[in-house]
Structure 1
Amino acid sequence: MRVLLVEPNYKNKYPPMGLMKISTYHKMLGDEVHFVKGTKPSIDAEVWDRIYVTTLFTFDFAISVEAINHYMRLVDNVDSLYVGGIMASLMPDRVIEATGIARSHILTGLFTDTSVVGDDNNINVDQLPLDYDILEETDYKYPAGDNYFAYTTRGCPNHCSFCAVPILEPNFHVTNNIIEQINTIDRKYGPKQHLLLLDNNVLNTPNLEALVDDLCAAGFGRGAKYVDPGAYNIVMMRYHNGDRADFLDKKMIAYLEKFKKRIKSPEMLDTFLQIVIGAEDTENFAEYMLEHEAELTPIIEKYRSKTAKSRYLDFNQGVDGRKINDEIMAQLARLAIKPLRIAFDDIRLKDKYCAAVRTAHKHGIKEISNYILFNYKDKPEELYERLRINIELNRELGIKIFSFPMKYSPIDRTDRDYIGVNWTKKSIRAISAILQVTKGVVAAGSDFFYKAFGRTLDEYFELLAMPRELIMFRYHFEGNGTTAQWQKLYRSLNEEQKKELMLFVSHTVSELKTLPCPEQFKEILPFYLIKYNGKKDQFTDGATQLSFMDDSDVVIEEE
């Protein structure tokens, strides 16, 4: 069977783990498997026996539907195409309406029963190891990098109203052993430096101590180090395992080409070059390399880098701060966590959140990454207060908490246009403008924070009302006096007029140019029509990401 795995052409941080497991499944059955992100003419020209299309966020609905409709034309029978993933699980009826696909061909939730695709076996696809090889078929670079991706648990008992997990993974349960997951990857693909655990609520695991023991045994205890074996050793291991692929040969060739610059011994360099030059004419590169392994390996081992690097474990979905106490933190502190991610989604959790941070600090955790939900049921001032609390905790404890405000979008919508009951379009755009300049990071330094968000609530609300260009290019407009002119006009308004202004300037720039302007705003309106085309301001000094991950996937609202 020829199987095609499709990820639509949206931007995403993590590789498609569901498709990577499906690839492992079909290769176990002896099938030929290929992967494509978006569309590719060479893929369209081929015949496929089965196609799987994954989906991700609901706001990428249009991109996903376009991909589904495109690949439905590449199968002789639409019953040979299946759609799964987050978006399809959350809104199957919308997918049916937009594509005409049968409901039985939308795979919702976890892929644990292969009979749903007509296969007669008892394989739980969700518990299979990831096939990292399919990522070699795309030029797309996932920001999460080449790391271990795994779960130790599925589901979450909290059932928060803003979260999709209760629909996607309704039952909390422990998955297969993390040591075996990592060992399987090591044997097949070689070791990786970091581990991303994507559990939704890992602290709900029934035996945290046993899990931490396993993670330490797997090489992720506190102070863990990693020595990169290098592409040569990994590819040779795979050749010995019987793996043959063009991308493996290309990796080896590229590695050897760079490696020759390391060799200091003239005799070893001569041997090395003779082997490399001889490989150019061989018909079977892998067999040639295996034949010359005894000569080549001592040279590689003598000169390859053996520098030990720090390796980190990242509970990437965060831990539940409400569950943190001394007993739990004593366990987590045994791990090479960097950073510890704790959500602070509700100002009413202030005391519990602060207690969790102080407990983490007491147990030696100095780097914390903080998810902060806004635009839900919160008020703008509550976002400011949560950010300010982190700044004060940084100052009090001498640690670094980097905050990542996350704009709430309902899981039943196909766009990012939702505005919370206590927010306006203008205030959302102002927050997005600040985050765009700071690359989504609210840094640990107090000077940085107070410059970006204001020293008081009054300054903060004034920033929310400020024209977008004056926010993003603050130094320029402060320097030429434009900001002061706007502030004078804004401060002359009474509170009711300020509220009316926020609603009026929530319109887009093009709308503001055509709408009748209320008399009281005629002087201040031109400031909202400014378009600055100069060099972007840089007031992000010190905003260094404290993770091996790239957390800059902030949503930028368009004017």
Structure 2
Amino acid sequence: MSRKILLVEPNYKSKYPPMGLMKIATYYRRRGDDVRFYKGDLKRFAAELLFEEYLEELGDLALGKYQSSLVEHIKTGKLAPLDVIPDFEGTKARSLLKKYRSRYMKKDYPQFDRVGVTTMFTFYWKQIIETIEFVKYFCKPENIMVGGVAATLLADEMYEETGIMPHRGLLDKPGDLDPGDETIIDTLPLDYSILEEIDYVYPANDAYFAYMTRGCVRHCEFCAVPTLEPKYCSYIEVKSKIEEVDRVFGPKRDLLLMDNNVFASRHFNRIIDDIKAAGFEAGASYIPESEYDVALRNLKNGVNDRAYKRKLIRLYDNLSRRLKEEELAEFYIEREKRGCLYVATATKEALLEFDSYVKPLYDRHFKPTKRRRCVDFNQGLDARLANDAKMAKLAEINIRPLRIAFDDIKDRDIYVRAIKLAAKHGIGNLSNYLLYNFKDTPDDLYIRLKINVELCEELDTVIYSFPMKYHPITDGEYFRNRDFIGEHWNRKFIRTIQAVLNATKGKIGRGKSFFEEAFGKDLDEFHKILWMPERFIIHRFTYKDTLAREWWEKFNSLNDEEAAEAKSIVAKNLFTEDVIGAASTPAIAEVLEFYAIRRDS
């Protein structure tokens, strides 16, 4: 018997689609279950579910054109949204709507046989817990599944707050979801169709997402991988999964691999050969399949009717923006005649019949063009395991960027050697993560950033540096927030780095002058920026020769005792009137006044 399955990602920002849920969707869909995915405001989702039942009970799809207004009324009870519906008062439809508004208020929502919730970073704890608590209205608690990163790292804490014991680790054993079923869910291909069911657009979406290894041979003190993936698996076949994605969802542009340490694999050469065989050799490009053809084929084949009805309506809307006035008017009339203006009014049969009209029009206005393909080992490669042979092999694929972490200044020589090996073999686009706020000092971060800038000039290459703040994600005091301050850091220094990165969009690239303007030409200038009022950091050029200069003169004029007191106050990064008023000397208070500036003046 078919089951109703709801898969949910909490409403936080995420760059990558939830791979775990996409595999679970494949599992349930292969069993013939009705799978649904949602990411967004769950209160609105509850109202949308009730609207669907309302429309079904009413038996009148025509009202589907007013979906937004009807959903808003079900959710809020406001009458104004209903004003757009002509002759609505006194009708059967209006009377029936009261029933669904009442159900919403009573939290009598449509039910699912199972609900799965994924989790990511622990500092999204509040959103995660709220999501788990809310989905209890959709399903019996014993049928709620919770998994993912935060669930694995903080399983006991999650159980204590929600009463739901999450699944720890991977779904890598038979019977993980259904006793007696032999499927290893972690090995399944991803169901990309669920991404078409939601409004949220993941920044990285046109890619194959995969692992070719699991785990890591290292056990770095700051890393969660040993807990999340405790066993190192040195080879996972990916070519057949890519072929399956191509067959159903059409070719993707990039290959994004989430491996934690692929250099440690004894099958490294085989992994690179597999990547090349999948179409990602050096210089690789491809011509994407028409989005329209994919959507229509999958609707016709019943892959996910809910998703591809939405997709086709979106494609119609995109096509409308390409059409000239006369052609647009005719297209609108044809859509309206078939009920294909809105998702809620469009039937599968009507959309399939409309193909004979739409396809020639779509093909004329959307011609697929050749695109460059890239491979990205997104979690980075281990500089300690880099050698000439591996870099030569890596250069056989279209890797862009090559990510190598530089987390500790003690690894300077190892890191520089790896970067030079990459440049030697023609890998010229690199990116790296620089951990800070752990056991490092601010000076360590500055030096690592400067090394990258100097390597860019020396090797004529590009290295984008991404400083990443350390956060103890399993510490009971800090896993709910981002408040941890390392032993050599303070709140002001952390805020300074964040302010600089806000101005540089989170990364530091090639260019000595750019780096020196952002972080200073030497450590003395860097120290000045660390203590500089945040407003002057963000709007460096606005204040450089005026207020920033005046602040620095007053800051430097403090005697040793005053400077120590001022720095102890500034380090806390809190500048209320009471704090400033409590300064022991007028000179200190004058300095602190600069930190209270919040607007241009």
Q: Secondary structure at the match of 1:154?
A: coil
Aligned match of 2:278 in 218, 225, 234?
218
Match of 1:201 in 2: 261
Q: Is the 8 A contact 1:442 1:449 kept in 2?
A: yes
Match of 2:566 in 1: 501
Q: Secondary structure at the match of 2:595?
A: helix
Match of 2:593 in 1: 526
User: Residues of 2 paired with 1:507 and 1:228: CA distance?
Assistant: 53
Q: Is the 8 A contact 1:426 1:502 kept in 2?
A: no
Query: In the superposition, relative to structure 1, how do residues 41 and 294 fare at CA in structure 2: closer, same or farther (>3 Å)?
Result: closer
Aligned match of 1:15 in 10, 13, 17?
17
Match of 2:127 in 1: 63
- The answer as to 2:70 corresponding to 1:41 is no
Query: In the superposition, relative to structure 1, how do residues 197 and 512 fare at CA in structure 2: closer, same or farther (>3 Å)?
Result: farther
User: Residues of 2 paired with 1:460 and 1:284: CA distance?
Assistant: 60
Amino acid at match of 1:525: L
Matches within 5 A, 1:148-227: 148-174=208-234, 176-227=236-287
Q: Secondary structure at the match of 1:404?
A: strand
Per the normalisation by structure 1, the TM-score is: 0.87
User: Residues of 1 paired with 2:171 and 2:304: CA distance?
Assistant: 29
- The answer as to 2:508 corresponding to 1:450 is no
User: Residues of 2 paired with 1:205 and 1:133: CA distance?
Assistant: 32
Q: Write the deviation string for residues 118-175 of structure 1: whole angstroms up to 9, x where unpaired.
A: 5321111111111112222221221222321111111001011100000010001045
Q: Secondary structure at the match of 1:509?
A: coil
Shift of 1:293: 6.9
Structure 1 residue ranges without an equivalent (≥5): 535-559
User: Residues of 2 paired with 1:17 and 1:195: CA distance?
Assistant: 14
Question: More displaced, 446-455 or 518-527?
Answer: 518-527
Amino acid at match of 1:183: E
Question: More displaced, 340-349 or 252-261?
Answer: 252-261
| Aligned positions, number | 525
Q: Write the deviation string for residues 296-315 of structure 1: whole angstroms up to 9, x where unpaired.
A: 76776676424211111111
Query: In the superposition, relative to structure 1, how do residues 166 and 486 fare at CA in structure 2: closer, same or farther (>3 Å)?
Result: same
Q: Is the 8 A contact 1:322 1:353 kept in 2?
A: yes
Query: In the superposition, relative to structure 1, how do residues 201 and 276 fare at CA in structure 2: closer, same or farther (>3 Å)?
Result: farther
Aligned match of 2:156 in 72, 78, 93?
93
Q: Is the 8 A contact 1:256 1:276 kept in 2?
A: no
Matches within 5 A, 1:376-525: 376-412=438-474, 413-414=478-479, 415-479=481-545, 481-493=546-558, 498=563, 500-509=565-574, 511=576, 513-514=578-579, 516-519=582-585, 521-525=588-592
Shift of 1:233: 2.3
Query: In the superposition, relative to structure 1, how do residues 449 and 79 fare at CA in structure 2: closer, same or farther (>3 Å)?
Result: same
Q: Secondary structure at the match of 1:447?
A: helix
Match of 1:108 in 2: 168
User: Residues of 1 paired with 2:198 and 2:253: CA distance?
Assistant: 22
Query: In the superposition, relative to structure 1, how do residues 275 and 213 fare at CA in structure 2: closer, same or farther (>3 Å)?
Result: farther
Shift of 1:261: 8.8
Q: Is the 8 A contact 2:211 2:258 kept in 1?
A: yes
Shift of 1:503: 2.7
Match of 2:27 in 1: 25
Amino acid at match of 2:423: H
Question: More displaced, 332-341 or 500-509?
Answer: 500-509
Match of 1:548 in 2: none
Shift of 1:254: 4.7
Q: Is the 8 A contact 1:53 1:68 kept in 2?
A: yes
Q: Write the deviation string for residues 483-529 of structure 1: whole angstroms up to 9, x where unpaired.
A: 11111122234667545433311334355634621326222111111
Query: In the superposition, relative to structure 1, how do residues 403 and 261 fare at CA in structure 2: closer, same or farther (>3 Å)?
Result: closer
Question: More displaced, 460-469 or 491-500?
Answer: 491-500
Query: In the superposition, relative to structure 1, how do residues 336 and 65 fare at CA in structure 2: closer, same or farther (>3 Å)?
Result: same
Shift of 1:249: 3.7
Q: Write the deviation string for residues 463-501 of structure 1: whole angstroms up to 9, x where unpaired.
A: 00011111111111124x101111112223466754543
Match of 1:372 in 2: 434
User: Residues of 2 paired with 1:351 and 1:150: CA distance?
Assistant: 31
Match of 2:194 in 1: 134
Match of 1:119 in 2: 179
User: Residues of 2 paired with 1:502 and 1:216: CA distance?
Assistant: 56
User: Residues of 2 paired with 1:370 and 1:511: CA distance?
Assistant: 38
Shift of 1:406: 0.3
Question: More displaced, 453-462 or 510-519?
Answer: 510-519
User: Residues of 1 paired with 2:132 and 2:331: CA distance?
Assistant: 49
Amino acid at match of 2:445: L
Amino acid at match of 1:522: A
Shift of 1:111: 1.1
Query: In the superposition, relative to structure 1, how do residues 216 and 487 fare at CA in structure 2: closer, same or farther (>3 Å)?
Result: same
Q: Secondary structure at the match of 2:182?
A: coil
Query: In the superposition, relative to structure 1, how do residues 297 and 98 fare at CA in structure 2: closer, same or farther (>3 Å)?
Result: closer
Shift of 1:434: 0.6
Match of 2:56 in 1: none
User: Residues of 1 paired with 2:110 and 2:188: CA distance?
Assistant: 28
Q: Is the 8 A contact 2:5 2:112 kept in 1?
A: yes
Query: In the superposition, relative to structure 1, how do residues 286 and 357 fare at CA in structure 2: closer, same or farther (>3 Å)?
Result: same
Query: In the superposition, relative to structure 1, how do residues 274 and 161 fare at CA in structure 2: closer, same or farther (>3 Å)?
Result: closer
Q: Write the deviation string for residues 333-383 of structure 1: whole angstroms up to 9, x where unpaired.
A: 011111111110011111111111111111111111111100000010000
Shift of 1:32: 1.3
Q: Secondary structure at the match of 2:426?
A: coil
Shift of 1:54: 1.4
Query: In the superposition, relative to structure 1, how do residues 29 and 174 fare at CA in structure 2: closer, same or farther (>3 Å)?
Result: farther
Q: Is the 8 A contact 2:212 2:235 kept in 1?
A: yes
Structure 2 residue ranges without an equivalent (≥5): 50-106
Query: In the superposition, relative to structure 1, how do residues 433 and 397 fare at CA in structure 2: closer, same or farther (>3 Å)?
Result: same
Aligned match of 1:352 in 382, 389, 414?
414
User: Residues of 1 paired with 2:535 and 2:357: CA distance?
Assistant: 63
Alignment RMSD, CA only? 2.9
Aligned match of 1:72 in 136, 147, 155?
136
User: Residues of 2 paired with 1:95 and 1:244: CA distance?
Assistant: 32
Aligned match of 2:8 in 6, 9, 13?
6
Q: Is the 8 A contact 2:284 2:372 kept in 1?
A: yes
Match of 1:280 in 2: 338
Q: Write the deviation string for residues 200-239 of structure 1: whole angstroms up to 9, x where unpaired.
A: 1111122211111111111111111121222222224324
Match of 1:543 in 2: none
User: Residues of 2 paired with 1:496 and 1:166: CA distance?
Assistant: 47
Shift of 1:277: 6.3
- The answer as to 2:424 corresponding to 1:362 is yes
- The answer as to 2:146 corresponding to 1:83 is yes
Matches within 5 A, 1:246-325: 246-255=306-315, 280=338, 304-325=366-387
Q: Secondary structure at the match of 2:571?
A: coil
